[in-house]
């Protein structure tokens, strides 16, 4: 977090799992996380804002109506 790669981080209270949020590109994130790989496993999941998702759904619906 001090380097600015991760903007939010939290841990669950029941399982020792957690999450981090980053807007870094894949290379920056890989370089940040790889040094911890021998000790921790990471799942990286890209996400998009809801507004972008909604616009995509509207485009799909419009294309389906044209058929």
Report if pTM > 0.75: no
pLDDT, one tens digit per residue, over 8-49 is: 989 999 988 888 899 888 899 889 889 998 898 888 888 899
Spans of all domains in the chain: 8-66
Q: Which two tokens stand for residue 46?
A: 């890209």
């Amino acid at each position: 977090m001090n380097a600015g790669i991760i903007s939010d981080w939290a841990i669950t209270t029941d399982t020792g799992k957690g999450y981090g949020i980053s807007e870094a590109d894949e290379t920056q994130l890989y370089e940040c996380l790889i040094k911890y790989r021998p000790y921790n496993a990471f799942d990286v999941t890209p996400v998009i804002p809801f507004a972008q998702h909604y616009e995509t759904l509207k485009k799909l619906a419009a294309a389906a109506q044209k058929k």
